[in-house]
Amino acid sequence: MKPINVGLLGIGTVGGGTHAVLTRNQEEITRRAGRPIHIVAVADRHVERARELVGADVKVTDDAFSLVDDPNIDIIVELIGGYTTALDLVLRAIDNGKHVVTANKALLAVHGNEIFAAAQKKGVMVAFEAAVAGGIPIIKALREGLSANRIQWLAGIINGTTNFILSEMRDKGLSFTSVLHEAQRLGYAEADPTFDIEGIDAAHKATLMASIAFGIPVQFDKAHVEGINKLDAIDIGYAEQLGYRIKLLGIAKRQANGVELRVHPTLVPSKRLIANVEGAMNAVLVWGDAVGATLYYGKGAGAEPTASAVIADLVDVTRLATADPKNRVPHLAFQPDQLSDLPVLPMSEVETAAYLRMRALDKPGVLADVTRILADLNISIDAMIQKEPAEGEDQADVVLLTHVAREKDINAAIHKIEALESIHGKVTRIRMEALNG
């Protein structure tokens, strides 16, 4: 059969891995796809470096739009990233009737509704397995493998940089800043790590998973996003004493009145498998009403793990290219006219348990004042650590774990506790998730 011709936009880490794996496993991939898949053209700013990677048989240019407009190219693989030029290229490829494969979670989290609508109108596919959790086939699992289920919730470690930092802080008792510098030295963190450490990258991915899990439009602007840049090593130690580990989780939950969509540091019971995912690895835990808990674990980044997902999408698109567009798997798992208008809930309405750490004067009545404030707001205490003051000091750490309470009530309690004369400084709050169904 006629080969599928691919135009590759960007041949950096993932693009290079895609070319390498596609070349190395060409025979196996052809047997699966039913026809050969060939990268026939590459667009990259660094033309000479790109030419060295792909050889003389592949066209190399610095004009990405020339590939998008080339009538001989069937699928565009977009790996350049960002929101602007990438959006123009993807929309033009779709308008030209080309299928698109992308690893660009930021683009889809912000402009996904527009892109999917354009693709639907033109009868082409936009595949994005590589946009979430690298080589882990979580998009396919949510969209196809779990399609019999009413998915109740998902929680994922979906950023390897932050998971590496948290693992190192816990293992070595080091500060966030020192571990971040080590992560940058080792190549786990970018020179500008903002998207990672502030939770934005994880929120992009959680947004896409939530849309597929619950059949709602992509709504990144409604996500609650917190990173790990303000996390203190002392809290990681206290969490360990209480039987928990702290992970940056992307969480999406279905509630009767809406959907929770949030990213933040989270205490997870140490006995949970996901709590023991260390280093730069990723994992996503999904709870469906029929199947119960399913866990997906693997490398969330890197040249060849991500290339694995890119090529899986190429194979899928190749298999389905001649199918009636109405019979293909919908972009967001649900038929486009069947998406739900279930709203994303404001964080103030979300209910979680909480870890609260405060610096308190060592004198009678302090704890009574704190517990009275909590009780007045219907917040009950599950566990507590009260440290002895260091020699010569009159203050000590008090750590409380609460039962599940509404976010706005926890916020009100924190405000009142911080106003007590016996409490010094701010109260540290970290949310908790049991992840037990």
Alpha carbon distances (Å) from 74 to 6, 124, 129: 6, 10, 19
Task: Give CB contacts under 8 A, 24+ apart, made by 382-387.
Answer: 382/353, 383/242, 385/238, 385/241, 385/242
Alpha carbon distances (Å) from 62 to 41, 131, 298: 11, 24, 34
Sign of the C-alpha dihedral computed for residues 23, 26, 29 and 30 taken in this order: positive
Distance CA 288, CA 391 (A): 52
| Residue that the structure tokens 């639907």 belong to | 120
Instruction: Verify whether residue 205 is a known catalytic residue.
Output: yes
Strands (E), 270-370: 281-288, 292-299, 351-361
Distance CA 405, CA 358 (A): 18
- Strand 37-43, strand 59-61: pairing: parallel
Q: Which residues, at least 6 apart from 226, have a Cβ–Cβ distance to it below 8 Å?
A: 198, 199, 263, 264, 265
Distance CA 129, CA 132 (A): 6
DSSP-derived letter for residue 330 is: P
Q: Which listed residue (59, 98, 205, 247) is catalytic?
A: 205
DSSP-derived letter for residue 387 is: P
- CA nearest neighbour of 99 among 325, 339, 430: 325
| Residue that the structure tokens 């039962």 belong to | 403
Cite the active site residues: 205
